[in-house]
Amino acid sequence: MSDQSLISKSATQLHQALARDELTPIDLLDALEERIALVDGDLNAITTACFDRARTAADALARKPMSERGLLLGLPVAIKDLQPVAGVRSTWGSPIYSDFIPDGSDCMVEQVENNDGIIYAKTNTPEFGAGANTFNEVFGATLNPWDMRKSCAGSSGGSAVALASGTAWLASGSDLGGSLRNPASFCSIVGFRPSPGRVAHGPARAGAFPASLGGMPNDPFSISGPMARNVPDLALLMDAMVGHHRADPLSMPREAQSYRAAVAARKMPARVAFSPDFGVTPVDPEVAAVCATAARKFEQMGCIVEEAHPDFHDVQDLFQTYRAISFYVGKKGLLDSHRDALKPEVIWNIERAGAITMDDIARVELARARYIARATEFFDTYDLLLSPATIVPPYPIEDRYVASCGDVEFDNYIQWCTIAYAITLTGFPALSVPAGFTASGLPVGLQMVTGPRAEADLLAAAAVYEEHAGLAGLVPIEPRKLAQAVTG
């Protein structure tokens, strides 16, 4: 039997125990394997486990002196199923690739393994990450552990549920339209979207991705990032992810200061802006109220807090155009060869690009330059921007997506994520951290945003808030129905 008391400990606590040689990576893998057997049959967060591979890596690490071990010291890390791991079934949530086993890994995975993180499982995702509800035809739906009748959002839903339910201490995610932030909000954990280039991503070598599955070259919007139960754990994984990788020409060298040091420094913002809706989306009133209360905690900490936001009026035109182009470049070949195996939302995104002209591309390129300029100017006044991370609490699992909010009917399946992708277009770092709970006990996330390349400041502010809010210790939880949920 494994030591199941390890499951409730933080990654930072386990990291310290590994450094003192009080635990081994094998101890942690044993605990995770037993925990997965206990709870994941109900939740379906873990798609493919690879414990034999993990234990081989742990045995090799054990032969190294402590001084030669990488940053993570053998901490286990779960990887989203959009990010291939060499020798491990990687499906992108698509029946087209349901049996694909890559010969290589994603750049981010290589960085994590080079830092002696041990990969033990892949986590569930919607087909090609499309749609902020984690279900697919290969593995089925992933359920929210706070109420198993609800969605965990997506597309990094499997990672978020694994963290919330104790089958992961650290996990990877990716984000285009909110895919790190949405499931973090729905599961009461932390999901971080860093600046493009901060974490290398894409195939590290030939064989990592199927030849038929492309991606938009040098796509500035889709990023990889860390997910964790709290901000210090998040910073630890972020430190293991960052750095230049030769296979990703846009990736940047690591910063001089570690993100763990930034968290420990607890730098406070002076002036904070809060917006319930960015002026561009409806928001459930209870969600808005929970986030407004969370934002006022910065006042209690001595910050100036004002209601304000950048001008995001053209967000829909910009994001929907860029997203359609990205899907067309990466998946038009699949539409031609495997149309019947693609879900409707993916087909819609690819086909939408057919009506886009060069004039449209020129228009959105020029408009985005103005969009970024306005957002950058906003951060000349404010150090931190706060908003709800999602506009609704977790919704019924049988709903493919959020079709409306209040009196507003959305035009497409992704529009309910506007409050997240309004930030995606800026390229600024953003995260979701727990804000509180609805009256029925469902989690609500607070989105935090800083200006260009200010990851360290964002993590520091999030750590100070997290300590003041007192919501970090509520996970992992046992899977539950709504009637069993608590308000925290």
Nearest to 51 by CA among 124, 118, 138: 118
**Residue 114's pLDDT is what?**
98
User: Tokens for 28?
Assistant: 């942690």
The residue behind tokens 């002196």 is 65
Domain boundaries, the chain: 4-484
pLDDT band at 251 (very low <50, low <70, confident <90, very high): very high
**Residue 12's pLDDT is what?**
98
71-105 pLDDT, tens digit per residue, is 999 999 999 999 999 999 999 999 999 999 999 99
The residue behind tokens 């950058």 is 376
Asked if 162 contacts 46 with a C-beta cutoff of 8 angstroms, the reply is yes
The residue behind tokens 């379906």 is 44
Mean pLDDT over 49-62 rounds to: 98
pLDDT band at 218 (very low <50, low <70, confident <90, very high): low
Going by the DSSP 8-state scheme, the letter that residue 268 receives in this structure is P
Model pTM score: 0.97
**Residue 340's pLDDT is what?**
96
Q: How far apart are CA 434 and CA 177, in angstroms?
A: 19
Whether 482 shows a pLDDT value over 80: the answer reads no
Whether 308 shows a pLDDT value over 70: the answer reads yes
Burial label for 226, CB within 10 Å (0-12, 13-18, 19+), is: buried
pLDDT band at 391 (very low <50, low <70, confident <90, very high): very high
Mean pLDDT over 430-449 rounds to: 98
Q: How far apart are CA 188 and CA 270, in angstroms?
A: 26
Q: How far apart are CA 139 and CA 134, in angstroms?
A: 10
115-163 pLDDT, tens digit per residue, is 999 999 999 999 999 989 999 999 999 999 999 999 999 999 999 999 9
Q: Give the amino acid at 202.
A: G
**Residue 297's pLDDT is what?**
98
Q: Which residues are catalytic?
A: 80, 155, 179
Whether 215 shows a pLDDT value over 70: the answer reads no
**Residue 487's pLDDT is what?**
41
Most confident residue range from 217-231, 402-416, 474-488: 402-416
Name 408's bridge partners: 405
User: Tokens for 433?
Assistant: 């951290």
Preceding amide of 67 cis, omega within 30: no
Dihedral, 222, 43, 230, 81 alpha carbons, nearest 10: -30
> How confident is the prediction for the chain on average, in pLDDT?
96
Q: How far apart are CA 290 and CA 432, in angstroms?
A: 14
Domain 4-484 has CATH 3.40.109.10: no
Measured from the Cβ of residue 338, the count of other Cβ atoms closer than 10 Å reads: 15
